[in-house]
Structure formats: C-alpha cells, structure tokens
C-alpha cells in the first residue's frame, strides 16, 4: 500500500509545482501553455528514466521487454494514458475549467475498476467500493469548490474530452497490470517504455498537430523550464511508485490509492504557495485520504500504521 500512497503524494507535489511553472513566462497567459507543458513534462520524465535505467544498467532489459507482446501492450497503454488521456484532460480544462474537469476525470478509477474486474478478474469487496465512492465524493467536493459558472469554451467539447480522459487513464492501468504479468516486463521497464512512447508521440505528433511545438522548444530554454523539470522529477518518482503499486496490489487498488493526489495537492499548495484551504476542502481531503486507504484494503481489521507501511 505504501507505493500507492507515495505515488499519490508525489503526483500532488508534481501538480502544485507544475502549476507554479505555468505562472511563469512564457507559460503565463499563453493558450499553448497546457499542451506544451504536458509534452515537455513527459519528455523530461523520459530523459530522467533513461538516466535512471542507464545508471542501473537496465537499458538492455527495456529493449528486450519492448520486443515482447506485453511490451507492445504497454506502448498502447502509453498512448491511452499520455497523448489520449492527458490531451483530453487539457482540452477539458480549456473548455470547462479545472474544477469541472477534476470532477469528471476523478471517475477514472471507477472505470478502471470495472475493466479490471471484467478483464483481469480482480475483485473488490462492496465495502471497498463504498470507500472508493467516499474518496470520489471528496474529489468532487474539491472540484466543485474551485469550479465557476462561467465556462471558458465549448461545454460539450469539454465534457467529451474529460470522458476521453477517464477512459484513457482507467484503461491504461488495466493494460499495464496485464502487461506486467509477463516476467520480462517489470514495473521499471514498463514505465520507461510508457514514458518514452508518450514523449515521442507528444513531440513528433501531438505538439506539431496542435501547433505548439515551436512554443515548447522556446519554453525549454527559459527559467520556467527549470521549475517544470523539478515537477517532472516528482512526477517520475510518482510514476515509479504507481507502477510498483499496480504490479503489487493490482490495477483497481493501485488507482484507488493514486487518486489521493487530490488531497496531497491541497496540502502541498498550502506548504509551497500559501494557498489556505477552506473548511470544505479540509473535510474533503480527510475523506479522500481515508477513503483511498480503505478502498485499497481488503481486510480493514488488519489496518494499522504498521500495516499501512507494508505493501498489501
């Protein structure tokens, strides 16, 4: 369980630092900022993983894994989670705002759990599903508190894009869990395949198609890129823990723990940016953290601080 909780905490940190980077020139006020920052973020993650795997002497393992059927499945998962899911997420933010996007996108673990039950034969007790619902309710509350009635763009396009994000992120975890059942594809090689595939598709396909490649290249040599790189470092660590969690406890429970990032983002927002949460956000954070832990725990009687520190 500790891997899933760590992935959520680090992704919350990534979210806050990335938000800080977007407040800097040239990202501030630019319509290209969201998509360009996503492309740069995944590219830096891929480069960090290249160094990490090279230092461990495991680059050959990744090449071997990429040639397998499971490795190719991870590439498909990369497309669903990165360019498809993240692009849908960003299009949704641009059209219905971050609050409503957070509400809709938070249901990706529910979709992923259904897919995991159907295709991977994973099981969650009714009480775990109820705990997941509590966590999702907390995320909805945080999204609602930050949502506004004034929509920045096309509402229908934003909703469809957010649903695309839900499907992309939910199915990504299930495909990854299936792929990592192969002894040749462990969580580290799977992640390097995923991030490399995502970065290449972003920089060679998505960024040119949406006309943000030039902006991304110019942004890469500005001070803001340093802040974005720190966010990517936190994101890379988060991914490593997330993939480890999926391999250890399964897709449904790994996703349930990962969505705790919504609560961690509020906490790190207070620490790093001085953003004081309201009563509703504090209550929602508590609900999210408790709900995610309970959703990932098959036997609640065994829960303790000592037990939470061990992978379940």
Cα-based angle 38, 104, 284 (whole degrees, multiple of 5): 100
Q: What is the mean pLDDT of the chain?
A: 85
**pLDDT, tens digit, 9 for 90 and up, residues 211-260:** 999 999 999 999 999 999 999 999 999 999 999 998 888 888 888 888 78
Tokens (6 digits) for 51: 């160094």
Is residue 311 scored above 60 in pLDDT? Answer: no
What's the pLDDT at 216? 95
What's the pTM value of the predicted model, to 2 decimals?
Answer: 0.84
Q: How far apart are CA 299 and CA 293, in angstroms?
A: 11
Alpha-carbon span 22 to 27, nearest angstrom: 5
pLDDT recorded at residue 308: 43
C-alpha closest to that of 92 among 20, 159, 190, 137: 159
Alpha carbon distance 96, 119 (integer Å): 32
Averaged pLDDT for residues 10-30: 89
As a whole number, mean pLDDT of residues 278-295 equals: 83
Q: Please, which residues have CB within 8 angstroms of residue 303's CB and are 6 or more apart in sequence?
A: 293, 294, 297
Sorting pLDDT into bands at 50, 70 and 90, what band is 276? confident
Dihedral angle, C-alpha 105, 109, 110, 111, nearest 10 °: 80
The count of residues in the chain is 312
Q: What pLDDT digit, counting tens, does each position of 166-186 carry?
A: 899 889 989 988 999 888 899
Compute how many other C-beta atoms are within 10 angstroms of the C-beta atom of residue 7: 28
In angstroms, rounded to a whole number, what is the distance separating the alpha carbons of residues 172 and 176?
6
**Residue 199: pLDDT above 90?**
yes
Res 43: pLDDT:
95
- Domain residue ranges of the chain, discontinuous segments joined by +: 2-308
């Amino acid at each position: 369980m500790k891997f899933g909780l760590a992935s959520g905490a680090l992704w919350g940190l990534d979210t806050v630092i990335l938000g800080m980077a977007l407040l800097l020139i040239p990202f501030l006020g630019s319509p290209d900022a969201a998509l360009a920052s996503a492309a740069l973020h995944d590219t830096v993650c891929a480069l960090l993983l290249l160094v990490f795997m090279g230092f461990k002497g495991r680059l050959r393992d990744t090449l071997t894994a990429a040639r397998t059927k499971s490795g190719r499945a991870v590439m498909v998962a990369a497309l669903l989670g990165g360019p498809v899911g993240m692009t849908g997420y960003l299009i949704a933010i641009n059209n219905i705002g971050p609050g409503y996007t957070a509400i809709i996108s938070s249901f990706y673990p529910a979709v992923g759990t259904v897919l995991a039950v159907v295709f991977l034969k994973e099981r969650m007790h009714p009480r775990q599903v109820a705990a997941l619902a509590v966590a999702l309710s907390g995320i909805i509350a945080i999204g609602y508190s930050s949502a506004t009635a004034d929509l920045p763009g096309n509402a229908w396009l934003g909703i469809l894009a957010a649903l695309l994000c839900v499907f992309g992120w939910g199915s990504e975890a299930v495909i990854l869990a299936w792929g990592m059942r192969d002894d040749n594809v462990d969580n580290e090689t799977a992640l390097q395949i995923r991030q490399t595939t995502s970065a290449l598709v972003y920089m060679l396909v998505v960024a040119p198609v949406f006309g943000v490649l030039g902006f991304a290249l110019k942004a890469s040599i500005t001070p803001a890129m340093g802040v974005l790189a720190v966010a990517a470092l936190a994101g890379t660590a988060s991914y490593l823990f997330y993939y480890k969690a999926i391999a250890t406890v399964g897709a449904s429970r790994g996703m349930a723990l990962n969505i705790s990032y919504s609560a961690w983002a509020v906490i790190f927002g207070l620490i790093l940016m001085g953003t004081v949460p309201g009563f509703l956000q504090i209550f929602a954070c508590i609900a999210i953290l408790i709900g995610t832990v309970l959703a990932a725990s098959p036997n609640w009687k065994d829960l303790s601080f000592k037990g939470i520190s061990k992978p379940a």
